Amino acid sequence: FALVLFAQVGFIVHLIAFLDSVVGRERAAFAVALMTAMAVVGRVLFSFVIDRLNQRLASAISFVSQAMALVVIINVHNEFALIAACALFGFSVGNLITLPALIVQREFAPSSFGVLISLITAINQVTYAFGPGVIGLLRDASGSYSLPFYGCIGLELMAAALIMIRGKKKLS
């Protein structure tokens, strides 16, 4: 989750700057507003079904959907496609805050919940705090957003694979 939040927060902070040169400031603002609205819609809709889903798989699908949206955003300069990709990206934004707690609740003893959630939160916050700065540095070094956004795709896909790996259960 730390990898995805790094990519997600870094991307969102730089989205207006990226879209401004492609579709203009007004359309860029609309795309970000739509992404935000879709984050709310996604979180509400997800809340109705998440208890019945494999939460690790749901997380992986969310990560991959964001990576796919980033591929479109980087490579397609059609206004409608960019706005649709921002909506797709936004659909899972809010869920990345909720899913770690649900996975911990399902897979660990209740007595461990507080410690694990505190640790996860600390790691996530320290990690994603660097996202916008690293993406900005990579953008300045490379001259475009392609390199940092492809890096975000790599982080999202790596996280999708990692979330599916479960630790081995101890035998009593």
- Please measure the distance between the N-terminal and C-terminal CA atoms of the chain and give it in whole angstroms: 30
| pLDDT tens track for 104-145 | 988 889 999 999 999 999 999 999 999 999 999 999 999 999
32's tokens: 């970000």
As a whole number, the mean pLDDT across the chain is: 92
Tell if the pTM clears 0.75, that is, is over it: yes
Give the domains, in start order, of the chain with CATH numbers.
Answer: 2-163 (1.20.1250.20)
**What is the pLDDT averaged over residues 42-46?**
91
| pLDDT tens track for 85-111 | 999 999 999 888 888 888 898 888 999
What is the C-alpha to C-alpha distance for residues 102 and 172, in angstroms, rounded to an integer? 25
DSSP string across 88-156:
HHHHTTTHHHHHHHHHHHHHS-GGGHHHHHHHHHHHHHHHHHTHHHHHHHHHHHHSSSHHHHHHHHHHH
**13 φ, ψ (degrees, to nearest 5):** -60, -35
Provide the CA 1 distance to its chain's centre, in angstroms.
Answer: 8
| pLDDT value of residue 94 | 82
What is the C-alpha to C-alpha distance for residues 165 and 26, in angstroms, rounded to an integer? 42
| pLDDT value of residue 151 | 97
Residue 77's pLDDT band, with cuts at 50, 70 and 90, is: confident
Residue 172's pLDDT band, with cuts at 50, 70 and 90, is: very low
**What is the pLDDT averaged over residues 25-36?**
94
| pLDDT value of residue 167 | 61
| pLDDT tens track for 5-22 | 999 999 999 999 999 988
List, in order, residues 6 or more apart from 65 with CB less than 8 Å away. 88, 89, 91, 92
